[in-house]
Structure 1
């Protein structure tokens, strides 16, 4: 079962290592990635385009022309993924949260690709505990939050 992952970028040119992304994203067979450029004024969009062009078919790119809040950018990515793919689980990573929590994009990509099955099982258990069935946008989850909870419970391979 594939997991959809939305990664929102805004002026992250210096944080993006295209070689690292390509290496790890091509190994992540059960991830469908949507890279969202949130009106970056630097070279971020070009780097994301390089990643999309050099990766296998599991990477999509959404370019937002006018800056939006992180939540709105995630919704744009979720809407795109919902229309393009048949996914039951969609998570997101905001690069703004990465910077505040002192993670690197590279470490999160690595942790995500190594722990796909654990994240998926955790998401299924969270959804089963909810009494009311959620809409698509309500069920989109924060991958950083999940990884932190799984790390606390000693269920992660690496972070």
Structure 2
């Protein structure tokens, strides 16, 4: 099975994290390389992510950005880290700003990605095949939100 990298940009989501549910969903995630980018949260988001990392059987990365950046800049930071640390051909991203508007939230996102991993991989491959030019490292990173929107429109 091919591993997929997922960058999740977090900002002040402390109140949206159910630690037990989060750990449960993480522990079931196979073939995913997760990177949480804490984008200058003013609450305890970063501490909660570190706590979850200790409780989880699945290892994941946490980047802590001290000064608030745009989501695109935070994704670039996560992408740079993922490309340097792991050998991944498929890296997607999502911002928790998007998650707060969706029904599944941060805990449900992990479950949704885990369950739909093959479909997300297929979506990433489709995007690469449609590209007429050779893409740079950052151009190959795809939006999981776009995939979720596409999935919701087909249901």
TM-score class, shorter-chain normalisation, is over 0.9
> Which sections of structure 1, spanning at least 5 residues, go unmatched?
155-159
Indicate the residue corresponding to 2:40 in structure 1. Answer: 39
Cα drift, residue 153 of structure 1: 2.8
1:3-152 equivalences under 5 Å are 3-152=4-153
CA distance in 2, matches of 1:114, 1:25: 12
> Normalising by the residue count of structure 1, what TM-score does the alignment of the two structures yield?
0.90
CA distance in 2, matches of 1:103, 1:142: 17
Cα drift, residue 98 of structure 1: 1.7
1:90-148 deviations in Å (ceiling 9; x for gaps): 11110111224454222222211100011101110121111112111111111121022
> Which sections of structure 2, spanning at least 5 residues, go unmatched?
none
Alpha-carbon spacing, 1:100–1:151, altered in 2? closer, same or farther (3 Å) = closer
> Normalising by the residue count of structure 2, what TM-score does the alignment of the two structures yield?
0.93
Q: Classify the secondary structure of the residue corresponding to 1:58.
A: coil
Please, what is the CA RMSD of the aligned residues? Answer: 1.4
Q: How many residues align?
A: 154
